[in-house]
Structure 1
Amino acid sequence: MKKIGFLSFGHWSPAAHSQTRSAGDALLQSIDLAVAAEELGADGAYFRVHHFARQLASPFPLLAAVGAKTSRIEVGTGVIDMRYENPLYMAEDAGAADLIAGGRLQLGVSRGSPEQVIEGWRHFGYAPADGESDADMGRRHAEVFLNVLNGEGFAEPNPRPMFPNPPGLLRIEPHSAGLRSRIWWGSASNDTAVWAAKQGMNLQSSTLKKDESGEPFHVQQARQIRLYRDAWKDAGHARTPRVSVSRSIFALVDDRDRAYFGRGDGDDQVGVIDNMRAIFGRSYAAEPDKLVEELKADEAIAEADTLLLTVPNQLGVAYNAHVIEVILEQVAPALGWR
């Protein structure tokens, strides 16, 4: 059994072919797709965060709105770039959104991806400390965020406050109990996956990974997941961690599907990104019976408990709901995921 959700980058473009022509379209259609996915029986609605781009950015208004409009589906990110975040203010936003959603928030955070602008985090007021890289800064922000989510008081109260304080040191409010266990780290390497396990975070692994062995993407990703689980066990955490992988998967069942995705699903690709040799996982596009056989061979999907389907959001809510529905009804049961 697997949890199956969708992951949207929330692109918008005024181009003639786009059904998502503005930022407002991207936000409102994201809410509509989450509602539709819940009605179809999907388990999660996840959203990517990119700054300085015509994509979804500030996540918490969207997460709160999705949480208010749905009742069951998980609401999450994949991922928030921690280089841009004030960890304490983020803890307030996250606590509020999680309370609105009734404890369904699943926050994926990370160092982030290559940017639209040069050192964009500096425009947000953040800079690495002496001797730090920007990746180090992102992990430091994440550690502060995790500590704050524990809900322990750390701030000395004003002896003459505007409103009465509870006794002792004060914590960030609102606090949502349990959110700390629903934070995920988006990892592109084996080392950062092990680090995430030590920190007690769940693991998100997407369709891009540092090429560490030259093997097929899914083989390297499966090894990363096993290393993560070994490190989790060694750290002695009490709970069982969760692991998600992302995939572009399209079942070709009608002329629209074949027109959009019927030209072949390709192979893994290798390139250089942020001075790192990276491997990009293949997409899957085939008739349902063939798709089932291809997905059976994906070792990383087999290792994960959660699968996030990346959706082409500019094709509109109705088409993306169709994509999700076909996977849930015609592919997942044949693989034993449902």
Structure 2
Amino acid sequence: MGKLSGIRVIDLSMFLPGPMLTVMMADQGADVIKVEPAAGDPARTQGPFEDGHSIWFANLNRGKASVVLDLKSEAGKAALADLIRGADVFVEGFRPGVMARLGFGWDDVRALNPRIVYCSISAFGQHGALAHHPAHDMTVQALAGFLSVNDGPDGTPAVPGVPAADVAAGLTGLAAVLMALIGREKTGQGDYIDIAMFDSLLPWGAHIAGSALTGGPSPRSDNQRSLGGAAFYNVYDTEDGRHVVLGGREIKFARALLTALGRPDLIALAEAEAGEAQAPLIAFLRDTFRTRSRDEWDAFMADLDVAYAPVLDFAEAFAQPHIAERGLLCGVHISPAIRFAGETYTPGPVPPLQGDAP
């Protein structure tokens, strides 16, 4: 029995943020019914595939059931209304106003079920100047300021490797839904949650955006301690064209490495302000790391107390013993990060075929 056994979720979301929210609920025993149009969730068609299923789709929709409904038809509307009457949570990821036009806005749904928790997920929220601006993850990251510091040495922003706005919305939405379910135990009433990818991402910049928040200059990656301006929080090339990182700025790490490299005279530079003051130390480390291969640096660092790591690709990352020891993979499924003592995880049933709900 999962922690959310007995909770029924109606999930009208597709792609990434909403399905991430609801698969975390399904992993904990919630009964999640995915409502899809005839064309299905577009993630179903995104390769690569395993046993006929998209691995992306499988990881975000395992353990759910699927119903296919045409919400522009009277039969489809009636079927969705029946599902809502027996549900605890309703999740949708359409543009603002779409659900209301279909007859399933917050007022419509709570009239059918006053106890339901209704969560809308959109790029910029249900109101505001940007509410109707079309966007996926990178658009949100650009408008939230994050892409400006996701840049290379020449200052040009790069396409982000992680869809941080999508993920932030999924995690924030999950927290909000669970809070609302707890609140319902006290009031007996459901709630409405307006989750925006933009809103969810902004707090993730609190550690770097301080100067901009106070009316000062915006952060630049080349002078920020956690964005590339500090020698011991940086990425370095190796002799074989690979990369390693130093990922801890505490002076004990600088002392350990620079002493081992025979340059204790540079330790003081590791305590200087990020940016120009640390440039000589960054230059020394760049030259030094280029003298050996990544594997040779792994061996050199093995006995040193330094926050160091090789930059691994996904195949290398998944092959690490740590992954197996903690049970973080189950076939092609990435195990939930949320696990409870004394409980073991096995993935839910294969991802649903369209319309497989009884």
Q: TM-score, normalised by structure 2?
A: 0.23
Normalising by the residue count of structure 1, what TM-score does the alignment of the two structures yield? 0.24
